[in-house]
Chain A
Amino acid sequence: MREFTLIRARSPEQAVQAMTTYPEARLMAGGTTLYDLMKLGVERPSAIVDINAIEQLRAFDTSGARELVFGSLARMSDVAADPRLVKDYPALSESLWRAASQQLRNMASLGGNVLQRTRCAYFRGGEPFACNKRQPGSGCAALDGIDRGHALLGTSPSCIATYPGDFAVALVAFDAVLDVLGPNGVRSIPVEALHRLPGDRPDLETTLAPGEIITRIRVPVTPLGRASTYHKIRDRESYAFALSSAAVALTMNGKRVAQARIALGGVATKPWRARLAEQGLAGRELTIETALAAGFAAFADARAGHHNAFRIELGARTVADALMIAAQRT
C-alpha cells in the first residue's frame, strides 16, 4: 500500500479545509470500501482525511414530522435497528440489514455506503485487466468477460459495472436528499442526482465537486413508508450482493394502487428509479399479473451481455414479489 499523509478532521468544515489543502486526498469514514481498495492497490491516495472524529455527523433523528434526518457518519447497524424505521419505513431498514454483515454494518457509515464503489472484478482485480473506471481510456475487460453480475440498465460501451449498494436504492425510492458542504458552502442534491451514468467517463462516478462532503441525508416523511419493502435476491440468502433487488413503496385505494415507488438495485450502473413502471401501476388493481407487468416495464430498456440475461426476468419477478410484499403491509 502506498504511504499516505493522515489528516484528522474534527468538524465538517475542517474536512472541507483538508480536502481543499490536499486535493488528492480521499475521505475515510468506516473505511470498509476505501481501505479495502487501498489494499488491492486500486486506490492509491497520497493523503487520507479521517472524518470519524466528527461526532455531530453521527447523529440521526427519525422523530421529525416532516423528514427523517441522518448524519452521514451514522453507522448502518444503528440506523437499521431504529424502531421508527423498522415500523414505518421497512424498506430503509431492510436495505441496511440485508447488506453486508453485522460486523461491516457496525463499521460502515451511511455516507460511505451511498458512495460504495462497484464490485466489478475487473475494476477490483487491477492489472492486467482493462478498466475505464480505474484507468480512463484503457478499455473494459467486462464487455467480453464474465459479466454475470454486471449491469443491465444504464450501461455504456465504456462501462457495465453494477452499482452494488442497497441503501441508496431505497433512498431513491423515497426521494431522499443529500446535504453537502463544500468550499462554496452548503447545497442539497437529490440522491437520485448523486451518481452519474458511466457514459464515456466511468471514472467520474458522482456529481460531488472537489472538496465536497456529504453531511446529512434527509428523507421526506411520507405515507408511502409503511407499505414498503427492500426485496433482495442473492446467490445465497444472506451476506451477498444483489443479483437483483427492488425498493418498493405503495399507497392503496382499496385494491387499487394510488401511488407506487419502484427503484432497482444490483442491476444498473446507478440506483435506478423505474418511473414508467410506477406510472403504469397507478390506478390499477394490484394482482400478480399487474405486478409482473410493472416488473417487466421496469426492465423495458434492459440490455443483456453474454452471461447476465437471466437477471432481466429475475429482476422483473423481484419487482413483482416486492410489490406483493409491500401490499400486505398496507
Chain B
Amino acid sequence: MTTGPDPSSLPPQATQVNRREFVLSVLSVAAASGAVGAGQAQAQSMDAALEVHTGGVPLCVVVNGQQQSLTVDPRTSALDLLRERLGLSGAKKGCDHGQCGACTIHVDGRRVVSCLTPALQLEGRRVDTIEGLQRPDGSLHPMQQAFIDHDALQCGYCTPGQIMAAIACVREGNAGSPERIKEYMSGNLCRCGAYNGIVAAIGQAAGDMGKA
C-alpha cells in the first residue's frame, strides 16, 4: 500500500550543532518556565525601552571571516546585501521566494535561503558564502572538487547554492545514503537535471570531508 523509501529511515539526526543548542535550550527552558508570563519577568523587561528604527538600520556582520559594519534599509534581503552591497555575487537570485535554493548561504554554520532572510536578521552573526570556501593555498573545498569530478552541473546557475547546501547536508549527518541525500537536498532545484551527478558528488565529498 505504501510506496517510496521506508519512512523510518529518513528522520533527521541530531547533529553536533543541534546537541549544543539542545543543551542551551534545556537550560533556558529551565530558566524560562517560571519566567514566561510571570510578573517578575514583566517588571524586569518593561524597564528596557523598545529598540525602534525608522529608516536605515545599523548592521554588524562577519562575512567570510571579514567584519562588515554598514547601514541597511530594513527591507533589504541578505541576498541583496551580499550581491549589491558587498559585491559577492556567488549566491544566485533564482526565484527570490525561497523555492529554488540557488541563494543558499550559511548563517552561524546553518544553511538558509538568503532571499527570505531579511539582512537585519544577520546582526551579530557569521555568514559564509561560496566565495569563502576556497582554502588559502588556492585549493578547492572537497565539495567543489566533487562537483567537478562528477560533472554535477550543466549551466552552473544553481551550483553555488547546491554546494553550500551540500556542505551543510554532510555536516548535519544527512548524507549517509542516496535516499537521505535526495530528501535533504530537495530544497535545491536544478533545471538542467544534474541530480544524479549532484547526489554522487555529495556521496564522495561526505567521505573526503570526514578525512579532512
Contacts and interface: CB of A to CB of B under 8 A. Distances in A.
Interface of A: 1, 3-14, 17-18, 21, 28, 31-32, 35-36, 38-40, 48, 50, 52, 55-61, 63, 69, 71, 74, 77-78, 80-83, 86, 90, 93-94, 97, 100-104, 106-107, 179, 181, 185-186, 215-216, 229, 231, 237-239, 288, 320-321, 324-325
Contacts of B57: 6
A14 B12 contact: no
A13 B41 contact: yes
A101 B18 contact: no
A194 to B, nearest CB: 18
Contacts of B188: 101
Interface in B171-203: 172, 174, 182-184, 186-188
* Secondary structure class of chain B's binding surface, majority of residues: mixed
A40 B95 CA distance: 12
A175 B30 CA distance: 24
- Most central of B12, B14, B33, B35 by chain A CB within 10 Å: B12
Contacts of A74: 25
A82 to B, nearest CB: 7
Contact of B112 (A94, A107, A237, A239): A107
Nearest to B104: A103
A107 B32 CA distance: 22
A21 B21 contact: no
B153 interface: no
Contacts of B41: 11-13
A3 B75 CA distance: 7
Given A81-B14, A90-B11, A97-B11, A104 B29 contact: no
A36 B113 CA distance: 12
A201 B15 CA distance: 44
Contacts of B32: 56-57, 59, 71
Contacts of A101: 101, 113, 186-188
Given A9-B50, A71-B28, A106-B111, 13 more contacts: A6-B54, A11-B45, A12-B37, A18-B50, A59-B26, A61-B29, A69-B33, A82-B22, A86-B12, A101-B187, A102-B168, A237-B4, A288-B1
10 contacts: A4-B75, A6-B120, A13-B45, A55-B28, A77-B12, A82-B22, A100-B187, A102-B111, A102-B169, A320-B1
A5 B30 CA distance: 34
A102 B184 contact: yes
A201 B189 CA distance: 37
A240 to B, nearest CB: 9
B92 to A, nearest CB: 14
B2 A80 contact: no
Nearest to A322: B2
Contacts of B8: 90
In order of increasing CB-CB distance, the 4 nearest A-B pairs are A101-B187, A11-B45, A238-B186, A186-B37
Given A35-B116, A61-B29, A82 B14 contact: yes
B118 interface: yes
Given A31-B117, A31-B118, A59-B26, A81 B12 contact: yes
Given A103-B111, A107-B117, A215 B29 contact: no
B51 interface: yes
Contacts of B52: 5-7
Nearest to B37: A186
Nearest to A28: B118
B98 interface: yes
A39 B96 contact: yes
Nearest to A3: B75
Contact of A56 (B31, B51, B104): B31
Given A6-B57, A14-B50, A32 B98 contact: yes
Contacts of B182: 238
A85 to B, nearest CB: 9
Contacts of A97: 10-12
Contacts of A179: 36-37
A59 B184 CA distance: 24
A94 B120 contact: no
A50 B121 contact: yes
A78 B18 CA distance: 6
